[in-house]
């Protein structure tokens, strides 16, 4: 079968699957079918979450190309996964078990992967077991209550503010290159 025929066959399979009862459209062509509901009031992952899940991945011909069953459930940073997983997992609750159908554009696209021809619709059965949500990059956890901020305009006021930094920021003075990088990043604004 030519590659274009294979791609069309996968698109047609997905269109037919969308008409089946119990299958709903999530976003960007990703479809899902709920196999088991978890706690509806439970946590849901966000883009920065680390999720623990069991899964089985198949192509439309039923060939399994990957599975976590039979071992320890792996943990993944959600933002590092294919777009179809990101779309689906952000709408799942812990304990949910879904079968998701991912169009090639939200999977690996036209590129082949081991056991997955380019242009393949992907089928995953995913069971979300746990979530840990680290802070998004750039957000620091303050150890002290928020302090007033002001712009440092001269060297005297900058050294005055460096002397007034809370104890956890003392390393900024000790590592000058790193300290300068932090000061530049903060654009001259530090707690006083």
Q: Report, as residue numbers or ranges, the catalytic residues.
A: 55, 65-66, 82, 108, 124
Strand, coil or helix: what is 67? strand
CA atoms within 13 A on the CB side of 141: 3
Say how many CA atoms lie within 13 Å of 4 toward its Cβ.
0
Cβ neighbours around 76 below 10 Å, total: 16
Handedness of CA 95, 96, 101, 107 (dihedral sign): negative
Taking a C-beta distance cutoff of 8 angstroms, is the pair 7, 119 a contact? yes
Q: Which two tokens stand for residue 58?
A: 């198949």
Structure tokens of 5? 């025929």
Question: Hey, what are 38's tokens?
Answer: 């978890």
> What is the spatial distance between Cα 155 and Cα 109, in angstroms, rounded to a whole number?
54
Sign of CA dihedral 95, 96, 98, 102: negative
């Amino acid at each position: 079968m030519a590659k274009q025929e294979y791609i069309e066959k996968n698109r047609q399979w997905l269109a037919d699957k969308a008409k089946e009862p119990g299958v709903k459209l999530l976003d960007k062509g990703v479809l899902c079918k709920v196999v088991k509901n978890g706690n509806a009031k439970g946590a849901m992952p966000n883009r920065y979450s680390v999720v623990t899940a069991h899964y089985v991945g198949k192509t439309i011909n039923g060939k399994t190309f990957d599975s976590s069953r039979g071992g320890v459930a792996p943990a993944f940073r959600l933002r590092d996964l294919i777009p179809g997983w990101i779309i689906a997992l952000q709408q799942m609750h812990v304990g949910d078990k879904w079968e998701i159908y991912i169009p090639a554009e939200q999977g690996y696209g036209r590129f082949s992967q081991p056991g997955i021809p380019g242009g393949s619709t992907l089928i995953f059965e995913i069971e979300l077991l746990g979530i840990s949500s680290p802070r998004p990059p750039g957000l620091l956890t303050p150890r002290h209550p928020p302090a007033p901020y002001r712009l440092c305009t001269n060297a005297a006021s900058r050294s005055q503010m460096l002397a007034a930094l809370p104890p956890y920021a003392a390393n900024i003075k000790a590592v000058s290159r790193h300290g300068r990088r932090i000061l530049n990043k903060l654009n001259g604004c530090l707690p006083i």
